[in-house]
């Protein structure tokens, strides 16, 4: 446990009696995150990294000895977004890295299931992401142009994940995710060799990259 989390071990939520329906999740840092009203003060990057490294993309239906984790996925998305937008500040690169951070609590539901659940789920996810942004000094919502670029990077990452690891034919992936344009040959070569890494490694890389980006702000 890091020094950031030592003082959190005994934190409790006021107003929650033992008999109340539980609406919070206890994190390994010791913090209790209220799921209905998430507070930025109850959010730690180590908890996010630990959770995302253990959430599987594609419902685990990918090749390899390890699941492709959301932590590894967001590192890929950030790399794509940074290459497509070399003038971006560290702030927007952090927004790209954290674009799926809410999934450390809600998990990675595949898009068809999200669509079936409807807007209530999306509102919950957005509220949690806003709290995460506030915790790390980002705007609660990023400008639409930045959001569009993060989404495009996300779809490029999904194209390569789908075709390299998830059994999609290229024509099928093109129909769902579009052409993976705007990145150089070097990054494309890396993505064509994409392989899932162990959860512990994904967690470590995520925290390290977060700290590197944060230090340049």
For residue range 162-171, what is the model confidence (pLDDT) as tens digits? 999 999 999 9
The CATH homologous superfamily for domain 20-200 is Hypothetical protein af1432 (1.10.3210.10)
Q: What is the mean pLDDT of the chain?
A: 88
How far apart CA 143 and CA 165 sit, in angstroms, is 32
Instruction: Report residue 7's pLDDT band, with 50, 70 and 90 as the boundaries.
Output: very low
How far apart CA 131 and CA 45 sit, in angstroms, is 12
Q: What is the pLDDT of residue 111?
A: 62
Whether pLDDT at 9 is above 50: no
Q: Measured on CA atoms in the order 179, 177, 164, 184, is the torsion positive or negative?
A: positive
For residue range 95-143, what is the model confidence (pLDDT) as tens digits? 999 999 999 998 866 566 556 665 566 788 889 999 999 999 999 999 9
For residue range 61-101, what is the model confidence (pLDDT) as tens digits? 999 999 999 999 999 999 999 999 999 999 999 999 999 99
Q: Measured on CA atoms in the order 89, 161, 45, 203, is the torsion positive or negative?
A: negative
Instruction: Report residue 19's pLDDT band, with 50, 70 and 90 as the boundaries.
Output: low
Q: For the chain, first and last CA: distance in Å?
A: 25
């Amino acid at each position: 446990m890091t020094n950031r989390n030592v003082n959190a071990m005994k934190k409790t939520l006021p107003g929650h009696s033992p008999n109340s329906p539980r609406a919070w999740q206890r994190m390994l840092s010791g913090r209790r995150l209220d799921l209905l009203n998430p507070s930025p003060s109850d959010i730690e990057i180590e908890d996010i990294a630990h959770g995302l490294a253990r959430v599987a993309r594609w419902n685990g239906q990918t090749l390899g000895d390890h699941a492709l984790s959301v932590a590894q996925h967001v590192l890929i998305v950030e790399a794509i977004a940074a290459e497509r937008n070399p003038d971006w500040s560290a702030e927007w690169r952090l927004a790209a890295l954290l674009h799926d951070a809410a999934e450390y609590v809600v998990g990675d539901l595949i898009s068809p299931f999200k669509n079936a659940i409807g807007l209530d789920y999306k509102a919950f996810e957005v509220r949690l992401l806003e709290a995460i942004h506030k915790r790390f000094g980002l705007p609660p919502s990023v400008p639409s142009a930045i959001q569009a670029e993060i989404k495009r990077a996300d779809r490029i990452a999904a194209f390569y994940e789908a075709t390299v690891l998830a059994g999609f034919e290229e024509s099928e992936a093109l129909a769902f995710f579009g052409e993976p344009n705007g990145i150089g040959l070097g990054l494309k070569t890396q993505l064509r060799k994409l392989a899932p890494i162990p959860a512990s490694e994904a967690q470590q890389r995520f925290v390290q990259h977060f700290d590197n980006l944060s230090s340049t702000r």
